[in-house]
Amino acid sequence: MSSRTARTKHGKATGNPPSKTRRTRATTPESKPTPKIQTAPQPAHQASLDLGVIGNGTINALIDACGRIVWHCVPAFDGDPVFCSLLSPQTDDAGFFDVALEGERARRQHYVDNSAVLVTTLTARDGAEVEITDFAPRYNSHGRTFHPMQVLRRIRPLSGSPRIALRLRPLTGYGARRPERTFGSNHVRYLLDPLVLRVTTDAQLPMLRDELPFLLDRDVHIVMGTDETLNESAARFYNEALDSTLSYWHEWSRYLSIPAEWQDAVIRAAITLKLCQYEGTGAIVAAMTTSIPEAPGTVRTWDYRYCWPRDAALSVRALNRLSATRTMEEYVRYIFNLAVKDDRMAPVYGIHFQDELPEREDTALRGYRRMGPVRVGNEAWKQQQNDIYGSVVLAATQLFCDRRLVKTGGETEFRRLERCGEAAWKLHDQPDAGLWELRGRKSVHTYSAVMCWVACDRLSHIAGWLDLGDREAFWRKRADAIRKKVLKHAVHKDGHFVESFGSGELDASLLLLEGLRFVAADDPRFVKTVDAVGKHLMRDGFLLRYAQPDDFGAPRTSFLVCNFWYVEALIAIGRRDEARTLFEKLLAMRNPLGLLSEDIDAKSGELWGNFPQTYSMVGLINAARGLSAKWSDLV
């Protein structure tokens, strides 16, 4: 990971072909000068990734504390960011959609409980208040889940006489240019590459098209998405979609098996993980963004809008433990589509099954806080990472033993997974780039070897559940052989595990060995490993993933999930008080909406890295489950 390199409600038809749209006129990309709203100064950048997330499985968007949409890719997670001001486009004062309140002096933000509906409240100096409610529609209709490429906004006056301006300024071509516009009686169309974005509103069109300031004396509704005519009022569509979307999320959250403590934190993390799964294929992305650096001034800027089976497996396991097993079923379908293509699996894939992700640097975007480079694609697809096969088997294992599922795995699915087992057996003692995706060197990494053991071990268990006795014994023999080799070559003379065969170095992945069931919690080798990792990798109260310099120098920030791994390891070996102290410290590092990125500056507490990071949210869920008091102790 260090170098990782959307029809209307109830199925109504929504539109005519663009060529048949009436009362539509073309304009140039540039808009003429308009009166300006005097607002509070906008920060040049976010203080610490103070962003909220909305989404529906087709698209997502990041919204800052001012209610400004700063990141939104179309037509899917990995698409062109039509709103890209998060990464400082060369075209100044563009790449966003906000509501400018005259005299703004304060703002606050929250999610509607147990949902992905985000509410931002802006307050002016004279006390006037405006409420912005944003969401992406997601609900069940006609036996399917409705999740269009749409973002819906409502701007509501709460008090006083607020004057606002709607500033809708998309870019296209990864921030390269302003798109041409056409408009009709109640909509504006932006000619993007390669699609058309239609924005329909019940506000007077000049207010949206020309950014004319106006007195907000009633609710304004905006429907932004595909180029289809809205065959009902924007208000009715918005209100019905809001009610249905809230019902969906409340029902989804209701059936989560959450821990008794830290319930809100776990629910928010679970919803965030759900938003990171692309509904079209089942792929789970590592994060929603690209190129947010791991630390200030570093070139460690990677595109995370893709699916790493390793990360996805951990997301699946975390949601399984919360009883959200549908994510696993959809993801396994995605993985099986990949597994039948080739015996060799790549470390990362595109959300549409792409197995090549050529990496380029984009120059129209200057980067988060103008810290480039901005990268599109990820060269990690070329690497050899041997843990991938164990990750695939691990993600699918529950499919074979969970009787709640409508369709459990059978021998056909088992035979598909055996191909991963064969690859794991061949590669378990071969050098690779490891889970940290080192670009400059290879080693026989302990974590990779253990994950190869996981592939064989879980295949043996699955064969037993399916009464395939010969295959059960076959895979058990291979698993035992790998385990013996790891214990011979990956244990230091001082009795703790090391990060690669024959080395003396440590890395945080060793904390996972007990959770993977490779060793018992009371195994002296694991206890000594936890002690050694805490002693050698802790910096200013947070854990590094490793301490030695890599291709880009020594790590400067703490990889957040490693801290959650440490919490789980401390719980396993009985140091629960220490684990609770660290966990509560980590919770305090979340942004105001309860979200985490990939990294944290140990001294300042500032979040860095791509956002929101699935790894970090998974770590939060697992640690909370391990630490929480039992429900029976509280009720």
pLDDT per position as a tens digit, 529-583: 999 999 999 999 999 999 887 777 788 899 999 999 999 999 999 999 999 999 9
| pLDDT for position 341 | 67
| pLDDT for position 403 | 86
Q: Are strands 163-169 and 214-215 parallel, antiparallel or unpaired?
A: antiparallel
The Cα 462–Cα 393 span in angstroms is 10
| pLDDT for position 42 | 44
The Cα 589–Cα 607 span in angstroms is 8
| pLDDT for position 551 | 75
| pLDDT for position 340 | 60
- The pLDDT of 13-33, averaged and rounded, is 38
| pLDDT for position 18 | 34
pLDDT above 90 (res 23): no
Q: Quick one: which H or E segment has residue 42?
A: none
The Cα 363–Cα 365 span in angstroms is 5
- Alpha helix (H) residue ranges in 490-575: 524-537, 560-572
pLDDT above 60 (res 47): no
Binned at pLDDT 50, 70 and 90, residue 38 comes out as low
pLDDT above 50 (res 7): no
Q: What is the pLDDT of residues 352-395, one digit of tens each?
A: 999 999 999 999 999 999 999 999 999 999 999 999 999 999 99
The residue among 620, 615, 567, 565 whose CA lies nearest residue 589 is 620
| pLDDT for position 557 | 94
| pLDDT for position 37 | 62
Q: What end-to-end distance do the CA atoms of the chain give, in Å? A: 42
The residue among 329, 465, 298, 515 whose CA lies nearest residue 406 is 329
Average pLDDT, the chain: 91
| pLDDT for position 501 | 97
Helix count and strand count (H, E) for the chain: 14, 25
Judged by DSSP in three states, 360 sits in strand
The residue whose two tokens read 């698993």 is 479
The residue among 32, 249, 279, 272 whose CA lies nearest residue 144 is 279
Q: Are 440 and 551 in contact (CB under 8 A)?
A: yes
| pLDDT for position 401 | 92
| pLDDT for position 112 | 97
pLDDT above 80 (res 245): yes
| pLDDT for position 198 | 97
| pLDDT for position 507 | 96
The Cα 149–Cα 6 span in angstroms is 4
Q: What is the pLDDT of residues 434-493, one digit of tens each?
A: 998 887 788 999 999 999 999 999 999 999 999 999 999 999 999 999 999 999 999 999
Binned at pLDDT 50, 70 and 90, residue 32 comes out as very low
The ranges assigned to domains in the chain are 24-243, 496-628
Is 496-628 a CATH 1.50.10.10 domain? Answer: yes
| pLDDT for position 204 | 94
Q: What is the pLDDT of residues 397-420, one digit of tens each?
A: 999 998 888 889 999 999 999 999
Percent of the chain with pLDDT over 90: 83
Q: What is the pLDDT of residues 488-530, one digit of tens each?
A: 999 999 999 999 999 999 999 999 999 999 999 999 999 999 9
Query: For 89-93, 189-193, 231-235, which range has the lowest pLDDT when averaged over its residues?
Result: 89-93
Determine how many CB atoms are found less than 10 A away from the CB of residue 41. Answer: 6
Residue 180, classified by CB atoms within 10 Å of its CB into exposed (0-12), middle (13-18) or buried (19+), is: middle
| pLDDT for position 288 | 98
Q: Which amino acid type is present at position 98?
A: D
Judged by DSSP in three states, 153 sits in strand
- The pLDDT of 328-339, averaged and rounded, is 88
- Fold: same for 24-243 and 496-628: no
| pLDDT for position 43 | 41
Q: What is the pLDDT of residues 98-132, one digit of tens each?
A: 999 999 999 999 999 999 999 999 999 999 999 99
pLDDT above 70 (res 3): no
pLDDT above 70 (res 24): no
- The pLDDT of 292-321, averaged and rounded, is 94
- Considering the segment(s) 24-243 as one domain, its CATH architecture is Distorted Sandwich (2.70)
